[in-house]
Chain A
Amino acid sequence: MIYDFFFKITGSNIIASIIQSLLPLFIFILPFALFAVWLERKVSAHMQDRLGPMRVGKHGWLQTIADILKLVQKEDIVPNEADKPLFNIAPVLVFVGSYAVFAAIPFSGAFIGSNIDLGIIFIIAASGFVVAGILMAGWASNNKYSLLGAMRSAAQIISYEIPTVLVVLTIIMITGTTNLFTLSEMQTGHFWNWMIFGGPNFGVAKFIFIPFMIMNFIIIYISTLAEVNRTPFDIPEAESELVSGYHTEYSGMKFAMFFLAEYANMFAVSAIVTALFFGGYQSPVGYLGNLFGAHWLIPIEQFFWFTAKGIFFVFVQMWLRWTLPRLRVDQLMTVCWKYLIPIAFVNLIIIGLITVL
């Protein structure tokens, strides 16, 4: 719909698609990243009985802007022996990997960046850019500890993609589509039509699905937590461990890009989880627009619900970060390969059987 709107105004295919693809970046991701950093600091502060940033702006809401200004004016230090082209491209790759995902996420009934039929598969493939970026950052830093940290991070991300894909496969089996837009459309109605409560088709199968769906939700939440390097899986960026992380040698704007990419990534995976399990942009209780007969209100409401659910899951990620200690590297791998993957496989088989029967 938004594409048509811009097409009508400018009359040119290319300009309309450029504007449409830049919209999520400027209207959503950058303000969201600023908001998320502020939210994290406030949430962590109140969980720890303290106040967080209070002086820059009312209750510190301008603090992130102050931090970004500080980072921008810092000297851009590139180590002498570092591999300069790789060093410079690495943060860009990481950011691209996080941002490209937003193309296929349905923000509301009227706006989706690109209505690909292979939505979810595209998302999983695009997030592979992050691995390449991290490995480049670790290698190009010419620092053996950065390299070790980068390799561990790459191993972590690749291992945890497997349970993610297995859970996504179960959803695909139940609904028969990989397009996130159609998936969200399927979960219309009220909240009992959401996938976590068994899916839109009423029947015995729906109630049998519920425990498996809850288990699947937990598995995918944990694996996406590991993909974005959040505690308890934040070995790569742990400050108090012996081996420093892959972004030690970065300073200034490049470091800011890693930082913003992490928060963009956090929202991206929360968005995927909501789209898959919690009804995407559908409201749990019906639309105000329908009540008043103002049909133009509905896409705005859907956007609001989508953002609210996404921010809720981001909040849960932050909540987990400030509660749990860190896992050791080998324990991280144990959790993935010995616990998450077998359980995900068993779920896949059982749900497949139920769907077929």
Chain B
Amino acid sequence: MALKTEEMILNMGPQHPSTHGVLRLELELEGEIIVGAKPHIGYLHRCFEKHCEAMSYPQVTPYTDRMDYLASMYNEFGYALAVEKLLGIQVPERVEYIRVIMGEFQRIASHLVAIGTYGLDIGAMTPFLYCFRDREKILSLFEQTCGARLLYNYIWVGGLSHDLHPDFLIQARDFIKYFRPKIKELNDLLTNNKIFIDRTANVGILPLDLAINYGISGPNLRASGFKWDIRKDDAYSVYNKFDFDIPVGKGTMGTVGDCWDRYYIRILEMEESLKIIEQAIEQIPEGDVTSAIPKRIKPAVGQVYSRVENPRGELGYFIISDGSVNPFRVKVKGPSFVHLGIMNELLKGYMIADVIAILGSIDIVLGEVDR
């Protein structure tokens, strides 16, 4: 007579050091193997979209910062592009270049957090501190420009709040020179380490058709082998003036689309961002960054959907305007929310010890999931 077994339900509760925020994962286990996973979210919901209906357009910008708090510049960038599309205004070229430079610096900072915390989850505690030390340098560049380290309110609809600090370009060049050897050091310490490779290669394999069906975007999609980047395929701002590569996962240490690929794509992307910043610093024109900011933003009736390439994926803003100073509806498509939906498929068949590795490699931020 066969033994009747029951599935055990294990709760990786909202308070857990490795879930990158307040996420509750309900795991169904059979022995040590996972057969299902249900993410429960909403612990960080702050009614962002409802707030927007009571604010005027410029007042929404500080709120967009706080969604994905590790990549604030990009949230503001996406919102500014959407409202400018709705208004039909064109910003000066200097503004576009500065937005790209800030966005790419922010991408490096966000990837540093992702890599550092991923190493911490796997057990290597030192790369985390090296990543944060480098991130401090980027944050002090931001502090010099707009006065805040994490939530900037810098990229406004129609322009920027301040022009660059006179020392900014010199310090940016110094940072690039300083940072390139650090990527090599990170590779020595973490990427090529045999123990790290054993923990992450062939774990959490995301097949390409599954990724496309679920709407995955950003580094996770590129790690599964598909070359798709909104900065190249649906270019916005001045990205079409720069020459940079799109790294794609090749399965060097295991299969295409495993955790190691997703992690390695982020390291390669940091290198590409450095290239973009170098070119932007060379090409940046002079100009006035506040000239195109409208006195009162009152768009015509209409709707717009505009998307940008967040460090985590495709960030989309859908704004409906009814002709008044407040938007009628602002809907945000956050990439982390979509990526969390794939956890059920991705975790099937792996052991409990792999949950942390897989969750860390998708790089979610709960602020963006819950808004």
Contacts and interface: CB of A to CB of B under 8 A. Distances in A.
- Chain A directly contacts chain B within the complex, with at least one CB pair under 8 Å: yes
Contacts of B352: 242-243
B189 interface: yes
Contacts of A328: 198-199, 351, 353-354
A48 B18 contact: no
B17 A240 contact: yes
A231 B196 CA distance: 13
A202 to B, nearest CB: 38
Given A242-B12, A328-B199, A322 B126 contact: yes
Interface string B328-371: 00000000000000000000000111111000000000000000
B235 interface: no
A325 B129 contact: no
A327 interface: yes
Interface string A217-237: 000000000000001101000
Contact of B133 (A49, A324, A325, A329): A49
Contacts of B123: 231-232, 234, 238, 240, 324-326
Contact of A232 (B10, B133, B195): B195
Interface string B249-264: 0000000000000000
A241 interface: yes
A323 B124 contact: yes
A331 interface: yes
A59 to B, nearest CB: 19
Contacts of A325: 119, 122-124, 190, 193, 195-196, 199
A323 to B, nearest CB: 6
B120 interface: yes
Interface in B94-145: 119-126, 129-130, 133
Contact of B126 (A48, A232, A241, A331): A48
Contacts of A44: 125
Interface string A233-253: 010001111110000000000
B124 A242 contact: no
A189 to B, nearest CB: 38
A324 B10 CA distance: 29
B355 A242 contact: yes
B364 to A, nearest CB: 16
A47 interface: yes
Contacts of B121: 240
A50 interface: yes
A322 B119 CA distance: 12
Contacts of A232: 123, 195
A325 to B, nearest CB: 4
Contacts of A324: 123-124, 193, 195
A239 to B, nearest CB: 6
Interface string B1-22: 0000000001010000110000
Contacts of A322: 125-126
B309 to A, nearest CB: 30
Contacts of B122: 325-326
A129 to B, nearest CB: 28
A331 B194 CA distance: 12
8 contacts: A239-B17, A240-B123, A242-B10, A242-B355, A243-B352, A324-B193, A325-B190, A325-B195
